[in-house]
Structure 1
């Protein structure tokens, strides 16, 4: 299977795709260019910021929660107004936000990392009802944050380790016990980037440098892969009217002479339905 171009605007580091179910609109970020982009049919939009932004969740029809290198922000889609909800490593200019996603309980998980991927500077936090709590630290490039359909299991990776972990959660969405390695991609030479879970509990993982998104069954078994034109596939998201379209961001970063296919957003019929992203409780 191979995905087709959904949006041709090239991103240096495309990331954080989010399908807004009320607006039927896809949002995503170019982290390095400090931009938020969107497409709704043939209508495209773009917002420019003065710092890196990387991930988002939806609050209501006109509001996103967006993560930047200094905080979590309430963002008005129609006006572009950005208001601080909570600081996020605002006292650490050497780090920025990275992968993030809403959990099934209305919280928001967000990873941070060194701006030059310095070892061990990364962490994963959870924002829940106004409070930011650090869950994991000592990571390098936190990625693959996603959640099982019943909300009782979280998945995440540190790309540098080549492993995707799973973490049991309690009914309120907080970690219970220690995480364990779920999928080890080292023997395959693959680098786990962003991920999303479908309605059947399958985990779709974008694999940096491999130009593909791979699906793994709930027991960790490889199922199938979809190729995208961008070598650095970075993060998938389900969307479309029936939630059966898989969108995939890509990046031009670290490619010496990128061709036109690099950094675009791709889309295809995944052959399985996704889950609606939960709205975030502020």
Structure 2
């Protein structure tokens, strides 16, 4: 592991750090503390970080254009003005269900967003995964407990997702032009009975899947065929999601959490909840922009 260097980007100990994304145009990383209703904004090259208070729990941010973002929250998809922080409801998302909130998500290369929901107390089978594009919302999968690892192959022809509660990483064939499934999901990685849980994931330019393993203090790298190629330790027990950052997309940002920890566990995990930068040989792919409005 002598080719891996890790440093802290943000020392703020998130309760549930999640949903990182990266805007290469401004060298800015964004992520959330879902449970504390915070949005973080950090310039990767300098580490300068701002924390924005949110009116509700939110978990995923997608870039619409240079001035606007789409934010997935507990009751809908909101358009956020970058300059002012003002948020306006765009599309309702389970707003009639007080049991659920948004969770993991990612933008497909076509510009469609996959976004998951889950029970606020991780109620079994309470969540779903949706497809969204240009104001249209479709439910793809239901009866999911903790949707995670939503990510896509570089060509857009394959999607990945997991239910952390179940412990299986699925792959599904997709229409590259829309991001909609063209077949049924099949198991790619069976992690049932393994240490930790499958959490957030991102796919690099070579199609390898980088998956944070909650409870095991690491990020695993899988081939498109489901073989584990590498395990990279991180200095927090509960990493939640990686994202590629930097001008060359050759670094990994990893969020983490302290949710569910006792005081003794927090003391034993002094960097738990912090956000890290991992330097290692990797060639990432940029985050796609979401098509929130009809063209």
TM bucket (normalised to shorter chain) is: over 0.9
Equivalent residue for 1:263, pick from 267, 273, 289: 273
Query: Contact 2:39–2:52 at 8 Å: present in 1 too?
Result: yes
| Aligned-partner Cα distance in 1 for 2:114–2:280 | 25
Runs of 4+ with deviation above 3 angstroms: none
Residue matched to 1:247: 253
Task: Kindly state the Cα deviation for residue 187 of structure 1 after the two structures are TM-superposed.
Answer: 4.3
1:276 and 1:206 map into 2 onto residues whose CA distance is 19
Q: Which residue of 2 aligns with 1:274?
A: 284
1:198-252 deviation line (CA, Å, top 9, x unaligned) = 0100000001100111000111111111111110110000011110110100001
**Equivalent in the alignment of 1:4:** 7
| 1:161 counterpart SS class | coil
1:158 aligned residue = 163
Shift, 1:6, TM fit: 1.4
| Aligned with residue 70 of structure 2, among 65, 87, 93 | 65
Query: Is 1:185–2:188 an aligned residue pair?
Result: no
SS at match of 2:255: strand
Aligned residue in 2 for 1:91: 96
> What stretches of structure 1 of length at least 5 have no aligned partner?
none
- Give 1:43 shift: 2.3
Matched, 1:34 2:23: no
CA offset digits 1:108-152 (Å, max 9, x no partner): 111000000000001000111111110000000000000000001
Tell me what 1:238 maps to.
Answer: 244
Alignment partners' CA distance in 2, 1:247 and 1:225: 15
Q: Measure, in 1, the Cα distance between the counterparts of 2:89 and 2:133.
A: 15
Alignment of 1:108-127 (within 5 A): 108-127=113-132
RMSD: 1.1
Kept after mapping to 1: 8 A contact 2:10/2:47: no
Which residue matches 1:174?
A: 180
**Which residue is 1:138 aligned to?**
143
